[in-house]
Chains A and B, each alone.
Chain A
Amino acid sequence: MGTMLSFKEVTKIYPGAEHIKAINELSFDLEDGEICTLVGPSGCGKSTAMKMVNRLIPMTSGKILIDGQNIDRLNTIELRRGIGYVIQNIGLFPNMTIGENIAIIPKMKGWDEGRIKERVETLLDIVNLPAEEYIDRYPRELSGGQQQRIGVARGMAIDPPVMLMDEPFGAIDPINRDHLQNEFLKIQAKLKKTIVFVTHDIDEAIKMGDKVCLLKDGKLVQFASPEKMLTEPANDFVRDFVGGDRTLKRLNLLTIRTAIRPDPPVVLETEKSATAGTIMTETGAKHLITVDSEGRLTGYIDHEALKKDGETVEQIKCETEAFLPDTSSLKDGLSEIFSHDLEFLIVLDDSKRVIGTLYTDDIKKILRG
C-alpha cells in the first residue's frame, strides 16, 4: 500500500480566461486501492481535475504522479491505454458488439485472440452479465443499467491499476443507481483499484468514496474520509454542501455492528415455558428472543405469549421479522425500527445466529460521538 496517484499543486488556466484558475493548486495523495470521489457544485472543476489525469485536458502547471511516475513524461496514447476510463454517457461504441467494445484496448495492445476472449468473458462475469448471452449483442439492445456495467467492464479491460469514472451512474434512475453502486462496491472490494470518481451528488460521494475531495471554484476545500467530512466539516461551505442532515448521512456509513448491544436475553426453544417466565421476571426483560440449539433466531416471547397454553417455549413463541444482519447500515436499522414500531431490533451474524440487539438509544450515543 503506497501512494498510487498524487496531485502536486496542479493548476489549470484556460486560454482566453487567464484571470480564472479553473483548477487552483490542487494537491492530494491517493493510496493504492482507494476510491477518491471528486465532488462539488457544478463548475467547480471536478471533471477538469479528473481529465487531467489521462491528459484529455492538459494542465498548466504542477504535476500528477501515477505510481511515482510523472504523467507528462509518458506517451499520451500509452498513458490513456493504461488508465481505465468510464464516462457519464457511457460512450459505448454502437457499431461494435459488447465483446468488441470490451476488447478494444486489449486489441490495440496486441493481445492474442484467446487471451482477449478469456478476459472479455471474465469481465462480463464480474459485472454479472452472462457472456454467452451478451457477448455478441449490440449496446443499443441493452438497458441503461446494463450498458453502464459494460462501460465499467470496458474500463477494466486490461486490469488497469488506476481508473477514472466521470459520473458513471449519473444517467440511471435512483433505484438502479443504488443497485449498481452496491454492485460496484462489491466488485471494488475484490479488485482494489485506485479510482478517481467524479460526481455532483454528495450522497454518492459519501457512499462510494474512501476519500472525499470537495472542490469549490477549482480550489480544494476539504480532502478527508467521508466519516470525517460529516463529523468535522472544515468550514461553513462544507457544512452547507454536505447538508443539514449530515448526521443522518452518517447513519449510512456506519454499520449496525458499531451500535450493537451484546448478550441479548435469549432462551432455548426447547426449554419449558415456565423457565422462560422465570428468566423474564429475573432479568426484567419485556421480551425474550428464542433460539434453536445452534443459536439461530426462531422467534420471541413476551408476557402475552406466556399466557398461552404450551409445554415448551417452542409452542408459545411468536414469529418475528424484526431482525437484520450486523453488516447492514444503521440507516436501514433505524428505518426498520421506525417502520415496525419496535422497541429494539435483533441483530444476526452471517449464519443467522443472534449476536445482539439494537436500541435507538445506542444509535443516539454513537452519533453524539
Chain B
Amino acid sequence: MEIAICPNCKKEIPEDSKSCSHCLKPIVSVKYKNVFSWQLSDKIFLFAAIILLIGFFQPWFPGSILYEDKPISPYRMLLNIVDLDIDFLESYNILRMIIIVPIFSILLYFMIYLRASMQKTLFPSIFLFLISCASILPFFFRIAGMTGGVLMSLVFLFCIIAYYRISYMSGRLGYASYFVLLIFMCLSVFIYQLDLGKEFYVNLETIKVSQTYGFWLTWLTFGTLIFTIILSFMKTVEDFWLMTFGVLLSLIAYNTFIHPLFVSGPFAFFADNFSEVGIQALTHIKIVFIALAIAIATGVPLGVYITRNPVAARIVLYISSILITIPSIAMFGFMMPILSSIDKSWDAVSGIGIGAVPAVLALALYSLLPIIRNTYIALKNVDPATIEAGRGMGMTPFQLLIKLQLPLSAPIIMAGVRTAVVMGIAIGAIAAYIGAGGLGIFVSQGLQMSTNDSVIAGAVSMSLLAILADIFLEQVEDWITPAGLKIER
C-alpha cells in the first residue's frame, strides 16, 4: 500500500483517502507520497548493518587479531597490508565515496522500483537470498575457522530468516528483500575487493572478480546504503527529486570548482590530512560535548532552583554573566595550573590531550550562562494559569516540574543549549593552545608556521562542525518539544 501524507496534520494516511483519518479534514489533493515506509524492524536491521560496516574498520571489532601486540581491524587484516600507509585508503577513498553518492542516486531510484516489483512475488526474494548466502557464508569460515564459522553462519541465517519472517507477516517482504540485498551486496563486494576474497573464491573455482571492479562496487553499495539512510529522513517524492537535482548540480560544481582546489590550496591540505582532521574533529566534539553535559547537568537544576529563590537568581545570573565576560585565553590559562594534576588520571580514561580537563571545565563554565538563563526564563514564562491548574488539582511540586514546567520549557532550554554548543565549538579553538587538541590545532600550528592552508582548513572545518551541530540540535529540539506545543494557534 502506498502511503500518502495529510497536507493538514502531516500524518500518514492511506492513498486515495477522501478525508484524513487523524484530523478528519477532507483531502482535496494528496500532494505528498512517502518514498519509504520505515518500520522499527527495518531501522534496527539497517542500524545493525551500519554498525557491522563501521566495525569492519575498527580494531575492537570481533574477529580482529593482534599484530605485534596491537589490535588491528578486520579490514587491515584482510588486506594484509599492516605496514602500508592505510590512511590513504581510509581517508581519500571516503572523500571519493561522498562524491560518488549522487551518481548512484539515480540507480537507487530504479532500485525503488525493484523493491515495488519484489513486493508482488516471492521468487526474487528467495533467489537473492540464496545467491547472497552463497557469497557470504564461506567468508565466515575463513574468519572464524570451522566451529566459529558454523556458529556465525547459523546466527547470521537466523537473523536474516527472522527478519524475513517479521516482514512477511506484516506483508512487507519487498522491503525486507531490498534491505537484505543491500547489505549482502555491501558485504560480498568487500570480499571481492580483497586479495583474500579473490584467493578464496578462486580456490572454490566459483567466481573471479577483478580487484578494481570490487573497489568501485564497494563504494557503489556504500553510496546506495548511505543514500537509503538519507532517504529515510525524507518524507516526500518532491524531497527526493530536490535531492537528486541538488547532488547532480553539486557534482558539476565539484568537477569545475572544487576538484581543482584539491590539487593545491586548503582543500588539498584537507584531503592530505583527512584522517588527522577527523581525529581532531572528534577530540573537538568530545571536549565540547563533555563540557555541555556538565553544563546541562549543573545549569538546568540550578536554573530550576533559582526560579524558587529570587535572591539566588540574582546572584547566580550575575556570576554566570561575569564568567562569560572573562576572555577565553585567560580562562584557559587560569584553569591550567589548578587542574593539571587531575589531568593525568583523566587523560588515561578519555584519551584526549593534556589540557583537556581545563578546556572542558572552562567551556562548561562558559556554557552555563545560556543554559541557566534560558532555563530560568523558560520556567518563569510557563503560563501561570497552567501551573495554578496543576497545583489546584493536587500535583506535587515535583510532578509540576516534571510533567508541566520542564516539558513546556524544553524548546527554550534547548535553544540555550544550541547557543552554548555553537559558542563552545568556537571557543574550543583556543583550547589547542593549552594542549587540549581539537580543530584549533590547525589554526594555531598554521599561524606559527605561516601555512594559510592549515588555518583555513581548521577554520572551515570548525564552522562546518558548528553548523552540523546546530542542525543536529535543532533536530533534537524538535524531538523533545511536546507535540502539543508544535501546533500553531
Interface residues of A (CB under 8 A from B): 51, 54, 56, 76-82, 85, 87-97, 104-105, 108, 133, 138-141, 154, 164
Contacts and interface: CB of A to CB of B under 8 A. Distances in A.
A151 to B, nearest CB: 8
B487 interface: yes
A77 B488 CA distance: 34
A95 B399 contact: no
Nearest to B399: A108
Interface string B446-489: 00000000000000000000000000000000000011110111
Contact of B485 (A51, A94, A104): A94
Given A91-B388, A93-B386, A97-B484, A133 B394 contact: no
Given A89-B383, A91-B389, A96 B394 contact: no
A94 B484 contact: yes
B393 A85 contact: yes
Contacts of B399: 108
A80 B407 contact: no
Interface string B166-177: 000000000000
Contact of A80 (B385, B391, B408): B391
28 contacts: A76-B394, A78-B394, A80-B391, A85-B392, A85-B393, A87-B385, A87-B389, A87-B392, A88-B385, A90-B385, A90-B389, A91-B385, A92-B386, A93-B386, A93-B390, A93-B404, A94-B482, A94-B484, A95-B404, A95-B408, A95-B482, A95-B485, A96-B482, A104-B393, A105-B393, A105-B394, A133-B24, A141-B487
B232 interface: no
Interface string B387-415: 01111111110010001100110000000
Given A56-B392, A94-B408, A108-B399, A89 B484 contact: no
A71 to B, nearest CB: 13
A91 B396 CA distance: 16
A79 B484 contact: no
A164 B394 CA distance: 13
A164 B390 CA distance: 14
A90 to B, nearest CB: 7
A136 to B, nearest CB: 8
B394 A108 contact: yes
A81 B386 contact: no
A56 B390 contact: no
Contacts of A76: 394
Contacts of B484: 93-97, 138-140
Contacts of A108: 394-395, 399
Contact of B396 (A51, A77, A89, A139): A77
Contacts of B391: 56, 80
Contact of A95 (B24, B389, B396, B407): B407
B388 A87 contact: yes
The 10 closest A-B pairs by CB, nearest first: A91-B389, A80-B394, A89-B385, A81-B394, A95-B482, A138-B484, A85-B392, A91-B385, A140-B487, A95-B407
A96 B155 CA distance: 43
Nearest to A151: B389
Interface string B247-291: 000000000000000000000000000000000000000000000
A138 B385 contact: no
Contacts of B386: 91-94
Contacts of A96: 403, 482, 484
Listed residue (B386, B393, B488, B489) with the most chain A CB atoms within 10 angstroms of its CB: B393
A51 B392 CA distance: 8
Listed residue (A77, A95, A138) with the most chain B CB atoms within 10 angstroms of its CB: A95
B393 A80 contact: yes
A293 B185 CA distance: 89
A54 B407 CA distance: 26
B266 to A, nearest CB: 47
Contacts of A139: 484
A85 B389 contact: yes
Contact of B489 (A56, A93, A140): A140
B389 A138 contact: no
Nearest to B406: A95
A49 to B, nearest CB: 14
Given A108-B399, A133-B24, A141-B487, A164 B407 contact: no
A104 B483 CA distance: 18
B456 to A, nearest CB: 45
A81 B408 contact: no
Contacts of B392: 51, 54, 56, 80, 85, 87, 164
Contacts of B396: 77
Contacts of A89: 383, 385
Contacts of A141: 487
Contacts of A87: 385, 388-389, 392
Contacts of A78: 394
Contacts of B390: 91, 93
A158 B488 CA distance: 31
Contacts of A95: 404, 407-408, 482, 484-485
A273 B489 CA distance: 64
A96 B393 CA distance: 15
B331 to A, nearest CB: 38
Nearest to B389: A91
B383 A77 contact: no
A154 B390 CA distance: 11
Given A87-B388, A104-B393, A108-B395, 5 more contacts: A78-B394, A81-B393, A91-B386, A93-B390, A94-B386
Contacts of B482: 94-96
A346 B354 CA distance: 98
Listed residue (A87, A92, A94) with the most chain B CB atoms within 10 angstroms of its CB: A94
Interface in B119-163: none
A201 B140 CA distance: 82
A82 B388 CA distance: 16
A316 to B, nearest CB: 50
B106 to A, nearest CB: 41
A81 B408 CA distance: 22
Nearest to A154: B393
Interface string B362-403: 000000000000000000000101101111111110010001
A140 B487 CA distance: 6
B38 to A, nearest CB: 22
A141 B22 CA distance: 12
A319 B4 CA distance: 55
A339 B395 CA distance: 53
Listed residue (B390, B394, B485, B488) with the most chain A CB atoms within 10 angstroms of its CB: B394
Listed residue (A56, A80, A97) with the most chain B CB atoms within 10 angstroms of its CB: A80
Contacts of B485: 94-95, 140
A76 B389 CA distance: 15
Nearest to B489: A140
A133 B396 CA distance: 31
A216 B132 CA distance: 87
B394 A77 contact: yes
Contacts of B389: 85, 87, 90-93
Contacts of B407: 95
